């Protein structure tokens, strides 16, 4: 029964992949966000040296993008928010011509152009004040540079931090370093390979490691170097500068688990403290301990989901438990971000399920968001069911039928942030992004999603007044 859903989803996914293939010099735009993503090339590697300076909230980046040109063309465009000062831009060592629009960097290779099936390196150096003003999901008024920051790049905010092809269709490896001032720890995704404090360089690739924030340097900077060899969509790349404690351990199967827990989670001045108190009363003071407890459950959540989805796809796992209210959790590749108001093992299992669907298998078009969100939420259902089968360890679980019914009713009533019928999400998306959102989230897509996710034949699903779904059954009890 469960495997059938996954098979159904994978057929859908491969259909979308097939339809997304573009002919030479034909550009297929994203139907939900036609303004993001670019055609004519395929990125294989982002090499980034990034530094955040607290004073002035400044961002310094040296970047090399390795890409294969798919067209014969004079110019190629990249996603990059306007506002940073570009001090160097080269193609294969030659000074590049360029111009900028609000969200694009258009690059020319003077006198040479770009040739079909040829690899190039775009080298760029830029800096400036971090571009929060245009950053749709951050609460700019509440953001305090004194406390650091954490990227949250879904669906297309990577362009606020680096030059990229900001669409999940173009996935690439990442090799990067991230430098922050003393008092912060540079968390990121991928494999941590090296820690640099002043003149001291410590190799840490695959080595057990525990580090409290106060063990970092008292002054100067600290740099962490990472590599993410498995291809990643730009929105699944992130770094966070917060006062983190970290723990790295090598699991029995050789995978490396690296977790970061923010000290902001025990900060009585944290703007979300009132909300913690609402849920935890005085127990909010134990938030970091609670966070570490969540990190310990990952290997078991992975094992539970592997029995349905197949082997966990990456060599690295872990969480970044941010102390900020980021608006939710995000399945950043191999190491998800859980925010200060959104962490428990149900959310954790949702983000881990995304590592298979969303990360390993990524969207070809943002209007199919439900494909990955539906599958991830189903992963959370499976985790809850696993807990119910292990009463000796778990006394808190949501029964399978009840969880599926909750999801169905949430979808039917349009009360969630990621299903096609959600008017709230649509209006949010519209206010943030392009105006075409409403048109592409249509009746057929809604029926398709409910049908696949809740295993209800499409002809049993009816839309009432174009808004609500009624009828159908959540699941046969067999
Ligand atoms: Zn999700």
Model confidence pLDDT, tens digit, residues 336-378? 999 998 889 999 999 999 999 899 988 888 877 777 887 888 8
Identify whether residues 327 and 445 lie together within a single domain.
no
Higher pLDDT, 203 or 16: 203
What's the pLDDT at 420? 41
The CA 65 to ligand 1 mean position distance, Å, reads 28
pLDDT tens digits for range 382-400? 999 999 999 999 988 998 8
The CA 352 to ligand 1 mean position distance, Å, reads 9
pTM of the predicted protein model: 0.84
Quickly state the pLDDT bin for 445 (edges 50, 70, 90): low
The CA 259 to ligand 1 mean position distance, Å, reads 19
Has residue 176 got a pLDDT over 80?
yes
What's the pLDDT at 472? 28
The CA 379 to ligand 1 mean position distance, Å, reads 10
The CA 418 to ligand 1 mean position distance, Å, reads 8
Identify whether residues 299 and 410 lie together within a single domain.
no
Structural domain total, the chain: 2
The CA 173 to ligand 1 mean position distance, Å, reads 22
The CA 113 to ligand 1 mean position distance, Å, reads 40
Identify whether residues 130 and 97 lie together within a single domain.
yes
Identify whether residues 346 and 246 lie together within a single domain.
yes
Identify whether residues 289 and 409 lie together within a single domain.
no
- The domain containing residue 360 runs over which residues? 2-14+32-364
The CA 369 to ligand 1 mean position distance, Å, reads 9
Higher pLDDT, 420 or 161: 161
The CA 72 to ligand 1 mean position distance, Å, reads 38
How many angstroms separate the CA atoms of 18 and 22, rounded? 9
Decide if 478 is inside a domain: no
Quickly state the pLDDT bin for 16 (edges 50, 70, 90): very low
Identify whether residues 379 and 276 lie together within a single domain.
no
CATH of the domain at 162: 2.60.40.1730
The CA 145 to ligand 1 mean position distance, Å, reads 28
Identify whether residues 373 and 360 lie together within a single domain.
no
Kind of pairing between the strands at 149-150 and 191-197: unpaired
The CA 137 to ligand 1 mean position distance, Å, reads 16
What's the pLDDT at 459? 64
What's the pLDDT at 327? 77
Least confidently predicted of 71-80, 118-127, 413-422: 413-422
Share of the chain above pLDDT 70, in %: 78
Spatial CB neighbours of 430, under 8 Å, sequence gap ≥ 6? 437, 438
Question: Average pLDDT, whole number, for the chain?
Answer: 83
Decide if 24 is inside a domain: no
Quickly state the pLDDT bin for 278 (edges 50, 70, 90): confident
Higher pLDDT, 326 or 461: 326
The CA 427 to ligand 1 mean position distance, Å, reads 19
How many angstroms separate the CA atoms of 136 and 157, rounded? 8
Identify whether residues 344 and 433 lie together within a single domain.
no
The CA 453 to ligand 1 mean position distance, Å, reads 14
Higher pLDDT, 346 or 138: 346
The CA 13 to ligand 1 mean position distance, Å, reads 16
Decide if 37 is inside a domain: yes
How many angstroms separate the CA atoms of 383 and 406, rounded? 15
Decide if 20 is inside a domain: no
Higher pLDDT, 426 or 290: 290
Query: Do the beta carbons of residue 406 and residue 454 sit within 8 Å?
Result: no
Q: What is the mean pLDDT of residues 108-114?
A: 96
What's the pLDDT at 289? 94
Has residue 453 got a pLDDT over 90?
no
Identify whether residues 232 and 83 lie together within a single domain.
yes
The CA 347 to ligand 1 mean position distance, Å, reads 9
Higher pLDDT, 3 or 428: 428
Decide if 170 is inside a domain: yes
Has residue 116 got a pLDDT over 70?
yes
The CA 272 to ligand 1 mean position distance, Å, reads 22
pLDDT tens digits for range 180-204? 999 999 999 999 999 999 899 999 9
Quickly state the pLDDT bin for 222 (edges 50, 70, 90): very high
What's the pLDDT at 26? 83
The CA 122 to ligand 1 mean position distance, Å, reads 32
Q: What is the mean pLDDT of residues 313-321?
A: 97
Q: What is the mean pLDDT of residues 258-268?
A: 96
The CA 135 to ligand 1 mean position distance, Å, reads 20
The CA 56 to ligand 1 mean position distance, Å, reads 33
The CA 201 to ligand 1 mean position distance, Å, reads 37
How many angstroms separate the CA atoms of 79 and 163, rounded? 6
The CA 156 to ligand 1 mean position distance, Å, reads 15
The CA 372 to ligand 1 mean position distance, Å, reads 7
The CA 417 to ligand 1 mean position distance, Å, reads 10
The CA 357 to ligand 1 mean position distance, Å, reads 9
Identify whether residues 99 and 9 lie together within a single domain.
yes
Has residue 449 got a pLDDT over 70?
no
The CA 353 to ligand 1 mean position distance, Å, reads 9
Has residue 416 got a pLDDT over 80?
no
Has residue 413 got a pLDDT over 70?
no
In the chain, the N- to C-terminal Cα span, in Å, equals 9
Identify whether residues 160 and 303 lie together within a single domain.
yes
Decide if 42 is inside a domain: yes
What's the pLDDT at 468? 29
Query: Do the beta carbons of residue 217 and residue 90 sit within 8 Å?
Result: no
The CA 183 to ligand 1 mean position distance, Å, reads 31
The CA 351 to ligand 1 mean position distance, Å, reads 6
Token duo for residue 112: 């040479």
The CA 328 to ligand 1 mean position distance, Å, reads 9
The CA 108 to ligand 1 mean position distance, Å, reads 37
The CA 119 to ligand 1 mean position distance, Å, reads 34
The CA 349 to ligand 1 mean position distance, Å, reads 10
Decide if 25 is inside a domain: no
What's the pLDDT at 132? 75
How many angstroms separate the CA atoms of 329 and 338, rounded? 4
Has residue 454 got a pLDDT over 70?
no
What's the pLDDT at 355? 95
Token duo for residue 226: 């990472």
Identify whether residues 331 and 456 lie together within a single domain.
no
The CA 149 to ligand 1 mean position distance, Å, reads 21
Q: What is the mean pLDDT of residues 263-267?
A: 94
Decide if 27 is inside a domain: no
The CA 131 to ligand 1 mean position distance, Å, reads 25
Has residue 477 got a pLDDT over 50?
no
Query: Do the beta carbons of residue 38 and residue 76 sit within 8 Å?
Result: yes
Quickly state the pLDDT bin for 284 (edges 50, 70, 90): confident
Has residue 253 got a pLDDT over 80?
yes
Has residue 470 got a pLDDT over 60?
no
The CA 350 to ligand 1 mean position distance, Å, reads 6
């Amino acid at each position: 029964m469960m495997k059938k859903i996954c098979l159904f989803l994978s057929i859908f996914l491969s259909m979308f992949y097939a339809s997304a293939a573009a002919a030479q010099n034909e550009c297929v735009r994203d139907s939900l966000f036609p303004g993001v993503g670019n055609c004519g090339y395929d990125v294989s590697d982002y090499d980034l040296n990034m530094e955040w300076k607290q004073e002035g909230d400044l961002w310094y980046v040296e970047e090399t993008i390795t890409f294969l040109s798919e067209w014969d063309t004079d110019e190629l465009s990249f996603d990059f928010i306007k506002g940073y000062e570009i001090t160097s831009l080269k193609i294969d060592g030659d000074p590049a011509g360029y111009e900028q629009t609000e969200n694009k960097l258009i690059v020319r290779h003077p006198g040479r152009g770009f040739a079909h099936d040829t690899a190039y390196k775009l080298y760029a150096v830029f800096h400036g004040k971090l571009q929060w003003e245009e950053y749709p999901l951050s609460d700019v008024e509440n953001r305090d540079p004194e406390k650091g920051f954490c990227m949250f790049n879904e669906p297309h905010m990577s362009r606020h931090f680096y030059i990229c092809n900001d669409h999940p269709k173009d996935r690439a490896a990442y090799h990067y370093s991230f430098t922050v001032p003393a008092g912060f720890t540079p968390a990121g995704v991928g494999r941590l390979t090296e820690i640099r404090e002043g003149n001291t360089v410590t190799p840490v690739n695959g080595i057990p490691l525990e580090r409290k924030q106060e063990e970092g340097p008292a002054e100067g900077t600290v740099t962490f170097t990472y590599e993410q060899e498995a291809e990643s969509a730009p929105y699944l790349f992130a770094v966070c500068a917060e006062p983190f404690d970290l723990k790295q351990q090598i699991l029995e199967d050789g995978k490396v688990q690296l977790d970061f827990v923010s000290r902001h989670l025990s900060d009585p001045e944290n703007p979300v403290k009132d909300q913690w108190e609402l849920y935890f009363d005085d127990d909010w003071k134990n938030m970091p301990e609670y966070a570490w407890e969540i990190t310990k459950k990952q290997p078991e959540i992975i094992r539970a989901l592997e029995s349905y989805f197949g082997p966990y796809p990456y060599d690295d796992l872990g969480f970044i438990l941010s102390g900020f209210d980021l608006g939710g959790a995000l399945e950043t590749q191999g190491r998800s971000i859980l925010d200060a108001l959104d962490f428990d093992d149900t959310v954790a299992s949702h983000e881990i399920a995304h590592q298979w669907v969303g990360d390993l298998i990524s969207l070809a078009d943002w209007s199919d968001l439900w494909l990955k969100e539906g599958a991830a939420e189903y992963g959370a259902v499976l985790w809850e069911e696993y807990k119910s089968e292990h009463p000796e360890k778990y006394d808190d679980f949501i029964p399978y039928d009840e969880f599926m019914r909750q999801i169905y009713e949430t979808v039917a009533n349009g009360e969630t942030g990621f299903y096609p019928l959600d008017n709230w999400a649509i209006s949010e998306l519209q206010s943030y992004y392009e105006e075409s959102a409403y048109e592409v989230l249509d009746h057929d897509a809604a029926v398709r999603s409910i049908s696949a996710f809740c295993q209800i034949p499409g002809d049993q699903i009816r839309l009432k007044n174009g808004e609500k779904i009624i009828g159908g059954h959540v699941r046969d009890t067999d």
